[in-house]
Chain A
Amino acid sequence: MGRYLLKRLWHTVYVVVGISMISFFFIHLSGDPVMLMLPPDATMAEVETLREQLGFNDPIYVQYWRFASRAVQGDLGSSLYFRVPAVNLILERLPASLELAGAAMLIALAISIPLGIISAVKRGSLWDLSSMLGALFGLSMPHFWLGIMLILLFSVTLGWLPTSGRGSLAQLVMPSLALGLSLMAMFARLTRSVMLEVLSQDYVRTARAKGLKERLVIGKHALKNALIPLVTVAGMQFGFLIGGTVIIETVFAWPGVGRLVVQAIFSRDYPLVQATVLVLAVLFVLVNLLTDLIYLYLDPQISYLEEK
């Protein structure tokens, strides 16, 4: 087990190196940041000096090597725009992103799984039809629109919740709800279809033949089998959520990583973009590792131990 973890962590290094290369080269294809950094009336000589200063005139592999060798020491460069170390900016924003992603995921799972189970058990019932119709709505609603509607209802009309910002639990409610709703819809549909499949399995019939209460048949025998595909999808989605919540962050003025990176892209703040991509990649890989560890608990046939 410990060995497996070490091996997986070592694989993470390959992934991260690969991602850093790809992102580094692609960002450099996107244009010259120096022009954006200087006032429009700067002379060619001034432009050239700054380029030289920032090392943009060196061959790209030299630039990458410089970046990489600093990165392994924990220095991901400084933001050209904010003029502070990129790592500091990211670490400042990361808790907000994790908090939002975590809350959205929690809401989504807590509601969707019971919903999907009941739909599967009462297949074809009014409950099933209406919750699956609701899920379809949830999936089709754009995040930003839902966010605005929530603000209109809970902040403007009812005055229950603050419109934006981060700090209190009340401020977390709407952004996580807006973000979690489509996930909820997706998981509810997924849970339903997976449960339907599992409920038709022989071992469910065996559980019933043993005289187990229906609660145990579904909550134990069926659910644990159904969780395997659910965990896969939830893990992937959580990875995306950490960096991919720009729209919701914008609507609710949430100080997360997503907004930071978009801002950095627009200002061609390479070091910051580069650093953010790298941090998000590492997080994504770690979430995947965690997912695999959960499998270990769910499915005894998966064994990560070395072959004997």
Chain B
Amino acid sequence: MLSIRHLKTYFRTPRGIARAVDGVSLQMGPGEIMGVVGESGCGKSVMALSVLGLLASPPALFAGGEIRFKGRDLLTLAPEELRRLRGDQISMIFQEPMSALNPVFTVGNQLSEVFRVHRGLDRSAARQGAVEMLAKVGVPAPERRVGEYPYQLSGGMRQRVMIAMALACRPALLLADEPTTALDVSIQAQILELMLGLKEELGTAILLITHDLGVVAEITRRVAVMYTGKIMEEAATEELFDHPLHPYTRGLMASIPRADASFETDALNEIRGVVPSAVDLPPGCHFEPRCPEAVAACRTHPPELEELRPGHRVACWRANRG
């Protein structure tokens, strides 16, 4: 259903070309739920925004690749066609439910817009649809909430409204960019559960973008690990957690605080060094400067993704050898 191939999304910056997404390939089937993990700035959000065509160009420039959705290449689609897909076939929810809703319009107004633009409903039918969607995402007293403004809702409620908006037209694909990051931990679980439930009900495929491996482990079936605009490793979720092959993936996993660790004896693991700038990437493997296992070849030759175990692809010279 969604097939991203060798996507290259660059940005023109005063300091040079920033390679935000650099040759990413991903496949997603209908109803599938896939995770993309990586540190902030690794290009995962830019990839999602590229799919929706929401990046202003310039400064964004699409240097290559294709994004096929149900057979159509979104990168070459006419802007008007792409607009019709947005919010209808493909939707997106964002990290900050505080700022993602317009402060000066009611929840109902913003929600019913989706029905009006994609379904051509009139004002009252769209409002009815809005109330139904609010009920579906578990907003209590939807008839009253529909007339309220975003500032009157809690963060969790706002994210529910965002989800209602995104799923109003039963899209085939939902891009969820850090949907729970800004929320309290107790609310996070509720929101993830809600998304999973709606996925089952509506058959929506979800591309879940997060830096939180815990969230990934909980709800995704497949995961891609991104670093500096490239996919470093990709596998079924269980396979990845059981056999992480890339040193970066292992580093990420080791840096999750463990509940059974002792505060005195076990230091929190971290990946040493910092993410290199997207305008000035190392010539070889991008992770080489921070990699504890790097060898000479890593410095000069960028590794390609290779399938080392069934359904498990990794881009690492060291993993290749053993």
Residues of A at the B interface (CB closer than 8 Å) are: 201-203, 205-214, 216, 220-221, 224-225, 298-301
Q: CB distance A211 to B99 under 8 Å? A: no
Q: CB distance B151 to A207 under 8 Å? A: no
Min distance, Cβ B161 to any Cβ of chain A, angstroms: 11
Q: CB distance A221 to B117 under 8 Å? A: no
- Complex partner residue of B113 from A210, A214, A300, CB under 8 angstroms: A210
Min distance, Cβ B8 to any Cβ of chain A, angstroms: 22
Min distance, Cβ B75 to any Cβ of chain A, angstroms: 17
Q: Would you call B149 an interface residue if the criterion is a C-beta within 8 Å of the partner chain's C-beta atoms? A: yes
Contacts A208-B86, A213-B117 given; does A300 touch B151 at CB 8 Å: yes
Q: CB distance B100 to A203 under 8 Å? A: yes
Q: CB distance A207 to B117 under 8 Å? A: no
Lowest 3 A-B CB distances belong to which pairs?
A211-B87, A211-B86, A210-B87
Interface size, B (range): 20 to 34
The B85-109 residues at the A interface (CB cut-off 8 A) are: 85-88, 91-92, 94, 96, 99-106
Q: Would you call B67 an interface residue if the criterion is a C-beta within 8 Å of the partner chain's C-beta atoms? A: no
- Complex partner residue of A301 from B86, B91, B149, B166, CB under 8 angstroms: B149
| A208–B113 CA distance with the chains assembled, in angstroms | 11
| A9–B103 CA distance with the chains assembled, in angstroms | 29
Main secondary structure of the interface of A (DSSP, over half): helix
Residues of chain B within 8 A (CB-CB) of A225 are 102-104
Q: CB distance B100 to A202 under 8 Å? A: yes
Q: Would you call B54 an interface residue if the criterion is a C-beta within 8 Å of the partner chain's C-beta atoms? A: yes
Residues of chain B within 8 A (CB-CB) of A202 are 94, 96, 99-100
Known: A207-B113, A212-B87, A225-B102. 14 other contacts (CB 8 A): A202-B100, A205-B94, A206-B94, A206-B100, A206-B101, A206-B165, A209-B52, A209-B54, A209-B86, A210-B113, A211-B114, A212-B83, A299-B104, A300-B151
Residues of chain A within 8 A (CB-CB) of B92 are 209
The B50-67 residues at the A interface (CB cut-off 8 A) are: 52, 54
Q: CB distance A203 to B86 under 8 Å? A: no
Contacts A202-B96, A212-B117, A224-B104 given; does A300 touch B52 at CB 8 Å: no
| A297–B261 CA distance with the chains assembled, in angstroms | 55
Question: What are 12 A-B interface contacts by the 8 Å CB criterion?
Answer: A202-B94, A206-B94, A209-B92, A210-B87, A210-B113, A210-B117, A210-B165, A211-B88, A216-B117, A224-B105, A225-B104, A298-B104
Q: CB distance B91 to A209 under 8 Å? A: yes
Residues of chain B within 8 A (CB-CB) of A221 are 102, 105
Chain B residue nearest in CB terms to A298 = B104
Mark contacts of B262-275 with chain A using CB atoms, 8 A cut-off: 1 yes-contact digit, 0 otherwise.
00000000000000
The B143-159 residues at the A interface (CB cut-off 8 A) are: 149, 151
Q: CB distance A208 to B54 under 8 Å? A: yes
